[in-house]
Chain A
Amino acid sequence: MKFRKLLTLTGSVLLFAAVFIIDATMKSLDSDLGNFFYVRGALIILAFILTSFYIEADRRERQPTMIQRIGRVAAWAGLFVSLSIIVSLLRFNEFETRAFRLFPRDYITILFSSVLSIAAGAFAAITVLNIKDMLLYKRKKGTQRNFWILLIFFFLASATTLNLRPLEPSVYTTVFFVLSVAMIIINSFRLSWIAYLSRREKIYAMLYALLAFFAFMAINILLSISDRPFLAKALLYFSYPLHTFVQLTSLFGAVYFGMSFISTLFHLPTAEAFDRKQTELSSLHNLSRLITQVFDLNELAETVTKMTFEVCEASSSWLEVFPNDTGEKSAGRADGIVSYRNISPEDIQTILFGDTNSIRSLVFSSKRVLLIDDVSTDRRTKYISKLKKVGSLLVVPLVSHQNLIGILYATKQMDFGFDQDDIDVLSGFADQVTIAIENATLIKKSLEKERLQRELLLAQEMQKRLLPQTLPTFSTLEMRAVSAPALEVGGDYYDIALLDEHRVGIVIGDVSGKGVGAAFYMAEMKGIFQSLSKIHASPKQFLVKANESLLSSLDKRSFISLIYAVLDVVTGDLVVSRAGHCPMLYATSSSIKYITPTGMGLGLSGGKLFEDSLEEKRIVMKEGDICVFYTDGVTESRSASGEEFGYERLMKVVEEKRLSSAEEIKEEIIQRVWSYTDAQGYDDDLTVFVVKWIGAH
């Protein structure tokens, strides 16, 4: 790119130098060029084509804005006109007129006219190329076509003068000149770039356009007046086509920039509204982007007050957000103010709570936008009329699903500071803010939920560890247990303790209710069992002591059902006591039955009433005998039709599997319960503990 620019520049300079040498030679020979005249013309055209390429490449690199473009054209036009006028004033009567032709009187004239003409040509190229870009801004279908037609007419009008002597008139030239002017007028209505300028830019555009207009008019006058000044003569001498082209271009420039000036002038009154719309649009756009990016409520609030400030040019703004839609509760204190700008917290406090019927409470009940045009005279704001800084006040509620989630406030120092536009903008803005706040709150909630979920998983992990990881093994019996909570954590409990060399305590229980509360009581139960079971030999005694411990810590509505069996692993002697729990299922080779010693749940009642309710039952396990302990999750599991699994089914399962191992029996019970409840799953904790006596070998 650099190389090409350099090449075009060098090329055009060399060509222009060649033309100058030809002209100087002719002068010294005092002769006519004859047919060589066309060669000179071709050299000039080629030189200007290269110049145009150079200018275009240079412009591409700079990528100017519209304002820079007009400014540049105006600057070049001004410069060129000044130069032309100065030269024209200094030098006159430099040419002799003979047979429609101009002859320079000396070499310095040749130099001056050459330089001035080259400058004129370059300037014309700059003008046309810049106007082209302005025309093609927001182009329509015909825009580009119209421009090319204009350019073709320019060239045709110039071309008709190619074979003419400078002062020779031509019909064709006039025809194409008129056509060119027509195209200039058509093209001059393409001014859509003006609409997209800001107010400030429009003022600059007007200034530049006016300057350009006068400069182009001046060039036109210099080239058209009958008493030809030096510029006109120089151009005619250097190249008649160039003279025509420069004349057309300056006409184009004058008309186009004249139109630009007038059009901008008419656009000026709406410029402010346009600017506002633009700010509003970009603010809303920014906010929409924020919604997806900012999850921090404070950061969001800062942006909201800042934008409120900008969008309606408020003198102060603040945002109040109510946590959990309970705004009324925080009445009297401004603790919902998440962000404020250009106002002191004391003033906010006064405005919001200075009166029982404050504007805040008005918006609370109406949930509508409230505008106070003149704070000092309005009946509703009498109580804040002493605040000199607040002239007018706009209060916009943030409403989501009929809930007031916050209020946005904006003030202006002058009375009647807010117009309908401000209200519309801020209302639209408030809707966006509402969504943004809701989003931020939701994300906060979901993070919180995630955290709780993690805690719960941790609790689940902990609770699993409260259950025995492995059961002790004995040569005389098989033991298998399984427990599955319905929720993350549950209230089911089973445990085993070695009481002495040959006795084990087996306990299975169920804390009333579900979830975390039940899980805590279950943990407490574990502690009680592990400590008391070794001290109190009989199941009944243990239950009485456990009840005493629990009564003080269980809340009124909670209780624990427990079944406790002490088994002698040598003799098979089993003593069982029950505290409100499901009965033990006992299967022998000849019979199967539930063993139900009486007894009420732990934590229901204390003292003698509890103790007297308890019974102990004794069996002696023989080879092949099975004891099944379980929680009500087994018997109370319901099928899709609502029927419970029940005691009968449980009994049948164990009866069928009487000859199987403890492991198989446990698995079978679980599988049967699960398939019974089918797809709806079980909704209660479920625990099964199977003991099978295999006897001494």
Chain B
Amino acid sequence: MNEFKISFRESGKIHVMELKGYLDAHTAPNLEEAFQKLVNAKKFNILVNCKDLAYISSAGLGVFMAFIEDIRTSGGDIKMSNMTPKVYNIFDLLGFPMLYEIFSDEHEAVKKFDAKKQSSK
């Protein structure tokens, strides 16, 4: 069994989720649970750091789709960063870059979140 781990971090008002390992049909429910927890706590500004994510299957990609609509209508967003080229390729093939903001570095993503907040104030 390939392992999959999620760790949480706060970066200012942004909630950073770090994914590690293989995200497939078996481990997708873990990610779903993690998202649900954040949404329940009304933490809508979510940044997913994919630095250590080795693989993502269609079931894993589906989890992002399950939450994005609710999060965006609640004024938040899911952004992603630090993908390896291989993982980025999977996201890219499916057209995710057209649906999500994907950054090469976490700082840029945080900046983008902050910029949006500034403008909305």
Contact = CB atoms under 8 A, between A and B. Distances in A.
Interface stretch (A117-125, A331-339, A599-607): A599-607
A601 B64 CA distance: 14
Contacts of B6: none
Given A512-B59, A513-B58, A582-B93, A559 B65 contact: yes
Contact of A604 (B25, B54, B93, B94): B94
A34 interface: no
A598 B93 CA distance: 8
B25 A513 contact: yes
A559 B99 contact: no
A512 B95 contact: no
A98 interface: no
Contacts of B86: 644
Contacts of A599: 95
B2 interface: yes
Contacts of B96: 600
B58 A561 contact: yes
B71 to A, nearest CB: 12
A583 B59 contact: no
Contacts of B58: 510-513, 559, 561, 632
B95 A601 contact: yes
A512 B55 CA distance: 15
Contacts of A269: none
Central interface residue in B54, B65, B66, by most chain A CB within 10 Å:
B65
B63 interface: yes
Contacts of B54: 642
Given A556-B69, A557-B66, A604-B99, A512 B93 contact: no
Given A513-B25, A514-B25, A636-B55, A557 B63 contact: yes
Contact of A580 (B62, B63, B95): B95
Q: Give chain A's interface secondary structure class.
A: loop
B61 A512 contact: yes
B98 interface: yes
A558 B57 CA distance: 12
Contacts of B59: 512-514, 557
Contacts of A556: 62, 65-66, 69
Nearest to A582: B93
Contacts of B65: 556-559, 604
Given A513-B25, A604-B99, A642-B2, A580 B93 contact: yes
A7 B39 CA distance: 104
A581 interface: yes
A343 interface: no
A613 B98 contact: yes
Contact of A583 (B93, B95, B98): B93
A600 B94 contact: yes
A33 interface: no
A600 B66 contact: no
B34 to A, nearest CB: 14
Q: Shortest 6 CB-CB distances between A and B: which pairs?
A: A600-B95, A557-B62, A512-B58, A557-B66, A580-B94, A556-B66
Given A580-B95, A599-B95, 18 more contacts: A512-B62, A513-B58, A513-B59, A556-B66, A557-B65, A559-B58, A559-B61, A559-B94, A579-B95, A582-B93, A583-B93, A600-B94, A601-B94, A604-B65, A604-B99, A605-B99, A636-B55, A642-B2
18 contacts: A511-B58, A512-B58, A513-B59, A514-B59, A556-B62, A557-B62, A557-B66, A581-B93, A598-B95, A599-B95, A600-B95, A600-B96, A601-B94, A601-B95, A604-B65, A605-B99, A636-B55, A644-B86
